[in-house]
Amino acid sequence: MKLLSLFAPPPPKPQLPPEKVKRLYPRLRWNILEATFIGYATFYIVRNNLSTVAKDMQAVFGYDHSQIGSILAVSAFAYGLGKFLLGSVSDRSNVRTFMPFGLVLTALLNFGFGACHNYSVHFWLWALNGFIQGAGWPPCGRSIGHWFSVSERGTIFSIWNIAHNVGGGIAGVLAAYAASHFGLQNAFFIPGTIAIICAVYLLWRLRDTPQSVGLPPIEEYRNDYPPEAPLHCEVELSTKVLFVDYILKNKLLWVVAFANFFVYIARYSMLDWGPMFLREVKGANITSG
């Protein structure tokens, strides 16, 4: 119960005077965009580090391609499950504590993964890591929805989505550098340490909703209401309503999900096996590959 109370959303505060709202709102909107960007990029460096050093794991632990593939596959399945389950929890949690907590957990799993030498332990630790990684995206989407209005979300999300590329790029370079200079285990220890530092940073920078700090809802602040229901922007829908009405019955969502399924086959084929291919087939080393 105490753990759940840690994630409880803060209650709304009395609204600040207009001059304070005018001064505070732009700064906190920037803080949210910047902190969620950095936070999500950091989730990548403790998720995409394994594929960079998979070849080294084969050399050190004697794992074959099938064993490496099983670790990567179970992580991907667990990630999808984590996004689904933790996303529902995130919708009703305080972003300021939920996202840093997830980052700390995935950092600890990286520490454990780097410290152990057993395949079964590696398998389950990386499965858990994949599941906890599901705590990365949902609070970011929730934050942007609360702090940026409908007409600007397309632009904001297009900027924010660069976090995937930044985090993925840093993950490979960081893991390769750490493993080649300090040993294989540091491909997990160093990213984990960075994730802990980032979690502290997020706890400092993030805020939950505008109302939790005495600001008006974003729709009121920008006078930008959804056309279909301007008076009900802040209504909290039940999990059942969200799942049935907005997911199961949303035909367009299923079309996009079906297309995205095939995009991810190509994407993760390259992300997970690209470094191994470059080293085994093209003769690259860990840093050039």
Domain spans, the chain: 15-224
- Give CATH for domain 15-224: 1.20.1250.20
Q: What is the pLDDT of residue 190?
A: 98
Could you read off the pLDDT of 25-47 as tens digits, one per residue? 999 999 999 999 999 999 999 99
Counting Cβ atoms within 10 Å, is residue 48 exposed (0-12), middle (13-18) or buried (19+)?
Answer: buried
Nearest Cα neighbor of 143 from 23, 16, 31, 4 is 31
In three-state secondary structure terms, 241 is helix
In three-state secondary structure terms, 154 is helix
Residues 6+ apart with CB under 8 A from 82: 130, 131, 132, 133, 134, 135
CB 41 within 8 A of CB 103: no
Q: Alpha helix (H) ranges present in 134-214? A: 137-147, 150-160, 162-182, 186-205
Measured distance CA(170)–CA(187) in Å, rounded: 12
% of the chain with per-residue pLDDT over 90: 73
Q: What is the pLDDT of residue 106?
A: 98
Q: What is the pLDDT of residue 2?
A: 62
Task: Tell me what the mean pLDDT of segment 219-240 comes to.
Answer: 72
Q: Give the 3-state DSSP-derived string for 44-107, with helices as H, strands as E and coil as C.
A: HHCCCHHHHCHHHHHHHHCCCHHHHHHHHHHHHHHHHHHHHHHHHHHCCCCHHHHHHHHHHHHH
Query: Is the pLDDT assigned to residue 249 strictly greater than 90?
Result: no
Residue 237 binned pLDDT confidence (cut-offs 50, 70, 90): low
Lowest mean pLDDT segment, chosen from 62-76, 78-92, 134-148, 215-229: 215-229
Q: What is the model's pTM?
A: 0.90
Which residue has better confidence, 225 or 141? 141
Q: What is the pLDDT of residue 227?
A: 74
Query: Is the pLDDT assigned to residue 233 strictly greater than 60?
Result: no
Query: Is the pLDDT assigned to residue 1 strictly greater than 70?
Result: no
Query: Is the pLDDT assigned to residue 288 strictly greater than 70?
Result: no
Angle at 23 between CA 22 and CA 26, to 5 degrees: 85
Q: What is the pLDDT of residue 275?
A: 86
Q: What is the pLDDT of residue 226?
A: 78
Could you read off the pLDDT of 161-193 as tens digits, one per residue? 999 999 999 999 999 999 999 999 999 999 999
Which pair of structure tokens corresponds to residue 49? 């580090």
